Structure 1
Amino acid sequence: MFIITADQIDSRHTKDAVSGTLTALNTKHARALELPAERTAGDEIQLITDDAHTALTITLGLFRESRWSIGLGVGDVALPLGESTRASTGDAFFAARAAVERAKPRPVRFACEGGERVDRQSVEDFDALVSILLLVLDRRTDGGWEVHDLLAMGMTQAEAAEKLGITAGAVSLRVRAAGIRQEDAAAKALVRMLEELNAMSRIGR
């Protein structure tokens, strides 16, 4: 199971982002969440999913907002789950708590930790590769994100060019500069790594 715990950065001096983020997460990812994402502290959110793609997608989405320290925990959970996310527990929850604390001083404000059944070296490898991807995304321009979002909606590059009022060549340049194709390839590989980590947590259950 995957637990994401995200702590709002500098919440004392910024507008509360928890309510809006929870609404967005519970609307967009409702089918993939084991229980609704919740506020677990004044400026913290937590969610549970058993889907690797969803775990990575949410991680990347929260990073893009630039206002969260993100901890991803992978491991076993106590079953049945509690009546709510806050009422649930298990190794993955403890791992996510350790991860978010480790994430706070890091440049990308992300960290991953595994439960007792998850191989530590495999977790460290995943953590390192995600951090590299996040550094790449952190350098993406607004124009790059603009093209990324249109392609993610299913548009072709030609359609994106028409939508933006620029040439197809200009879109192609943005795709290359933004590393959009490389991000897609990396994300697929990272999802496979997460699936393997999740499988480890089930051994001996």
Structure 2
Amino acid sequence: MFVLTVDQIDSRHRSDQVGPILARLESAFGDRLATAPERTAGDEFQVATDDGPAALEIALLLVRTGDWSVGLGVGDVRTPRGDSVRAMTGTAFVNAREAVTAAKKRPARFALVADAGAPDLDPLIRLLLALRERRTPEGWELSDLLDVSPELTLTDAAARLGISVQAASQRALTAGSRLDREAREVLGSMLTIEGERIGA
């Protein structure tokens, strides 16, 4: 299982963001989660899923907002499983706790911890995050459009955005849009393989 333990950054000086983000995650990923995401402490919440690509997407979304320290734990969950995140235990939860503690000390505010013997995907995901940190608002605009409508060509995207094809091509190159998409696909597949190994 994949567990995200997520802690709001500087919550003492900012309004509580847990309620809105829980609603957003449940709306966007509800059918891919083991159970509803849940607040576990004042400014902290957890998400549990058996879907590796979903865990990655959630982590990337949360880091992008700049509001959260995100720990992703990969491991097992004791059976029978509880009917809520709070009722579940296992190494996935222990690893997620260790990961969020490490994330708080990192510029990217992300860390992944997995059971012994698992491939170390943490540096690869942080490399992807480093690529994203350099992306401009214009690069995000194009990348988001291509993610939502992957069938679009750069010519189509340029027309949608009201820019030249050359400008769209330069945005895509600078933003690393294609590399980002390919990296997410590979990392999602690797997480899926690891989840299947743990569940075997």
- Fold conserved (TM > 0.5)? yes
Which whole-Å CA distance do the structure 2 matches of 1:149 and 1:195 have between them? 24
Moved over 6 A (4+): none
CA distance in 2, matches of 1:196, 1:119: 13
Matched, 1:105 2:100: no
Correspondence for 2:88: 88
**Aligned partners of 1:166, 1:44: CA distance in 2, in Å?**
41
Q: Deviations over 1:75-109 (max 9, x none)?
A: 10012221211111111011101100011011111
Once the two structures are aligned, what percentage of the paired residues are identical?
45
C-alpha distance in structure 1 between counterparts of 2:41 and 2:20, whole Å: 15
Q: State the TM-score, normalized to the length of structure 1.
A: 0.92
Question: 1:147 aligns to what?
Answer: 142
Match of 1:76 in 2: 76
Deviations 1:160-196 (A, max 9, x none): 2222211111111100000000001111111122123
Q: Note the aligned Cα RMSD (angstroms).
A: 1.2
Aligned to 1:62: 62
1:18 and 1:35 map into 2 onto residues whose CA distance is: 17
The 1-side partners of 2:73 and 2:52 are apart by 12
Structure 2: which 5+ residue stretches go unaligned?
A: none
- Residue 201 in 1 paired to residue 164 in 2? no
Q: How does 1:15-30 map to 2 (within 5 A)?
A: 15-30=15-30
Residue correspondences, number: 198
The question of whether the paired residues in 2 share the 8 Å contact of 1:119 and 1:200 is answered with no
The aligned counterpart of 2:34 is: 34
Q: Partner residue of 2:177?
A: 180
Whether the 8 Å CA contact 1:69–1:109 is kept in 2: the answer is yes
Deviation at 1:51, TM superposition (A): 0.7
Question: In the alignment, which of 116, 119, 129 is matched to residue 117 of structure 2?
Answer: 119
Cα distance in 1 for residues equivalent to 2:157 and 2:14: 34
